[in-house]
């Protein structure tokens, strides 16, 4: 159920935005974060504003954007303009009713692959965390454009994360916090894949096995974290 546009929801968005920078998957103000929300009778989302450092953001600084066609920034509610990528977030929410949070970063390794228009194939089973057997690259379009928004939404139709050619990473999930975790995992996988490529031709997991992994993620959730001490259980 979509949350109301509350100070607490806005604080969570700000926490995620700051955590992006703290984790090193974003620099300064280059990324953006949003969470689906409803305000009075209007469905929409709250998003980080353009040009405001995350460190100084307050809940009232976030911008509410209604999810009503035709989309227009003139309908946004807030003291600042929303992120220039507001329409990209809006198109994802409209295309995916199950999505409650969206995170966009310019993390180093994933962006490097995106600049080479290089998808991340099934070299590691965790690629399935994005919802498929690969993490694909959406075609390049000018930042902040309706064309980019459409391409991004199409790329996430059957995935929860993608690379944006010559741009960065887009991740979506059932909460804004989970979207951040996914964006961080995409960067980790991109880093690993870049290393693997220096060792020779990457060896890929077969398609039928990746389908089993994808189904396991859907039914069992994420693999368990490695246990320590006297705890028992699976290794992952």
Domain parsing of the chain, residue ranges: 7-220
C-alpha triplet 197, 203, 205: angle, nearest 5°: 130
Does the structure show a pLDDT above 90 at 103? yes
Q: Which residues have C-beta within 8 Å of that of residue 73, sequence separation ≥ 6?
A: 65, 81, 82, 86, 87
Does the structure show a pLDDT above 60 at 53? yes
| Separation of alpha carbons 149 and 65, rounded Å | 15
Yes or no: say if 153 and 95 are a contact pair by the CB < 8 Å rule.
yes
| Separation of alpha carbons 4 and 23, rounded Å | 28
Superfamily of domain 7-220: Class II aldolase/adducin N-terminal domain (3.40.225.10)
Does the structure show a pLDDT above 50 at 197? yes
Residue 90: closest CA among 141, 145, 53: 145
What pLDDT sits at residue 1? 55
**Of the listed ranges 5-9, 123-127, 159-163, the one predicted with least confidence:** 5-9
Q: Of the listed 19, 69, 85, 185, which one is catalytic? A: 85
85 in catalytic set: yes
**Coil, strand, or helix at residue 162?**
strand
What pLDDT sits at residue 94? 97
pLDDT in tens, 75-95: 999 999 999 999 999 999 999
What pLDDT sits at residue 229? 38
């Amino acid at each position: 159920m979509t949350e109301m546009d509350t100070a607490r929801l806005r604080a969570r968005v700000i926490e995620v935005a700051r955590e992006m920078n703290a984790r090193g998957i974003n620099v300064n103000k280059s990324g953006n974060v949003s969470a689906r929300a409803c305000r009075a009778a209007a469905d929409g989302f709250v998003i980080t504003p353009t040009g405001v450092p995350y460190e100084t953001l307050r809940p009232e600084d976030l911008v509410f954007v209604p999810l009503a066609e035709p989309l227009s920034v003139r309908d946004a509610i807030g003291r600042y303009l929303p992120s220039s990528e507001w329409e990209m977030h809006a198109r994802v929410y409209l295309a995916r009713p199950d999505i409650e949070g969206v995170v966009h970063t310019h993390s180093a390794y994933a962006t490097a692959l995106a600049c080479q228009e290089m998808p991340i194939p099934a070299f590691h089973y965790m690629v399935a965390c994005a919802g498929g057997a690969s993490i694909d690259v959406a075609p390049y379009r000018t930042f902040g454009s309706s064309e980019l928004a459409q391409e991004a939404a199409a790329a996430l139709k059957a995935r929860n994360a993608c690379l944006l050619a010559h741009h960065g990473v887009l991740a979506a999930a059932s909460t804004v916090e989970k979207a951040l975790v996914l964006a961080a995992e995409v960067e980790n996988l991109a880093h690993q894949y870049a290393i693997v490529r220096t060792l020779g031709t990457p060896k890929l997991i077969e398609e039928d096995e990746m389908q089993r992994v994808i189904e396991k993620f859907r039914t069992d959730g994420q693999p368990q974290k490695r246990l320590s001490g006297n705890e028992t259980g699976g290794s992952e």
